[in-house]
Structure 1
Amino acid sequence: MSTITPRPTAPRSVSLRMSPRDLISIGIFAALYIVVVMGISMFGFVSPAVMLVALAAAIVAGGVPFMLFLTRVSHAGMITVFAVITSGVLLLSGHPPVSFVLTVALALVAEVIVRAGGYRSRRLSVLAHTVYAAWFVGPMLPIFYAPDDYYGGPSMRQMGEAYTEQMQALLSPGVLLAFCASTVVFGFLGGVLGARLLRKHFEKAGLA
């Protein structure tokens, strides 16, 4: 993977100051990321098994808008604000608070990674997405420490008793741990997919 070509009109620094252009970029790509992730995840309403497949697909697909967003990141703080917006929306949609906290924490790690590459290393951008995508573990964390509250919560009641029973039967500790580990794999694949699309299409169109 090559490095991103420097842009003299968009200097990169460690400043936390957000310009109007920064805020617009964050807003646009946060909205795009939410639409992609939630749109694919909605297929999980079919069944718990489909849910796991949909989540894996959402992780990979989410790599495209996230990697495109990273080409607009000009300084520290932008990824964190992106995370606050996206996880905040998901919190309002029913995700547990622990998922919000995890997402922001992972965003801080991603900030360090992209900074280490001077905000231009595509390899480290892929790594940043790999780390950030682990937030998909967040919504399921309550199953480990508060399963009764999770399965008896409003979201699961809305899915129906049959769906809840199928989910309890499917999500054994082993399956949950395997899913948690798989977020790293799918996060990496999503980052690679996003990087390749950037190189093949978005850069040619002047979007990256």
Structure 2
Amino acid sequence: MDHKLQVKDLTHIGIFLVIYYILICICSMAGVLTAMAMKSALIAWIFFALAPFISGIFTGPVVILLMTKLQKPWGFFIFGIIPPILLALTGHTWIVPAGSLIFVILAEIILRLGKYKSFSAMMLAHAVFNIWTMMPLFAVILSAKMQASVVKKMGSELVSVIFTLPNIAPIIIIAFIGGIIGAFLGKLMLKKHFQKAGIV
């Protein structure tokens, strides 16, 4: 196998990146906008948590298909780090890509350990990677600018209750579970691609 990224590989990354980013925006915005409209802290938290959970499910087939086509070192890393950077460039704090880098690197390492041919590695990599989708919630805790923006939309009382480390941290697990479900959904949808790519 040629382990160097070719133009074809970069083209795949670009195409899948567009599809992935659109899905992330739709899923995340649906959850976040609904959460911000809620008056109950509990219901708002649920919708904030649903955003990364649903994102993981809907993006699973896209990410898994990319993994079957891009079985080379650094390919997934390039794909994975761009969405957080795009969020930072479109109004979010740079805390998002900085924190997301951890999960993108872990996902790349997991894929390498699975030699890019193991579905178990792909599933785990996608689940870990999907955790980055809740980094904007952590950014609200860490960034005064982001917190002020959310306070304007929800009010200081709700924000002070929801956006605390004990309340936001559990969403990591929720995002992880969404990634697992999305990966299994991808496996069901892409059985023929798995066979052709020699995924086990």
Structure with the larger helix share: 2
> What 5-or-longer segments of structure 1 have no aligned partner?
1-10
> What 5-or-longer segments of structure 2 have no aligned partner?
37-43
* Alpha-carbon shift at residue 131 of structure 1 (Å): 1.2
Distance in 2 (alpha carbons) for counterparts of 1:90 and 1:162: 21
| Number of positions where the alignment pairs a residue of Structure 1 with one of Structure 2 | 188
Could you tell me which residue of structure 2 aligns to residue 38 of structure 1? 25
Q: Deviations over 1:9-47 (max 9, x none)?
A: xx3x5x3x3211001000011111101111111212123
Q: Deviations over 1:103-155 (max 9, x none)?
A: 23322222221122221111110011011111123212234434x333114xx
Distance in 2 (alpha carbons) for counterparts of 1:180 and 1:22: 30
Distance in 2 (alpha carbons) for counterparts of 1:180 and 1:74: 27
Moved over 6 A (4+): none
1:198 aligns with 2:185: no
2:162 corresponds, among 157, 170, 189, to 170
Q: Normalising by structure 1, what TM-score?
A: 0.77
Could you tell me which residue of structure 2 aligns to residue 150 of structure 1? 146
CA RMSD of aligned residues (A): 2.7
Q: Normalising by structure 2, what TM-score?
A: 0.80
- Aligned residues with identical type, % of pairs: 21
Equivalent position SS for 2:24: helix
Give the aligned residue type for 2:62. P
Q: Tell me if structure 2 keeps the 8 A contact 1:110–1:128.
A: yes
Could you tell me which residue of structure 2 aligns to residue 19 of structure 1? 6
Equivalent position SS for 1:152: helix
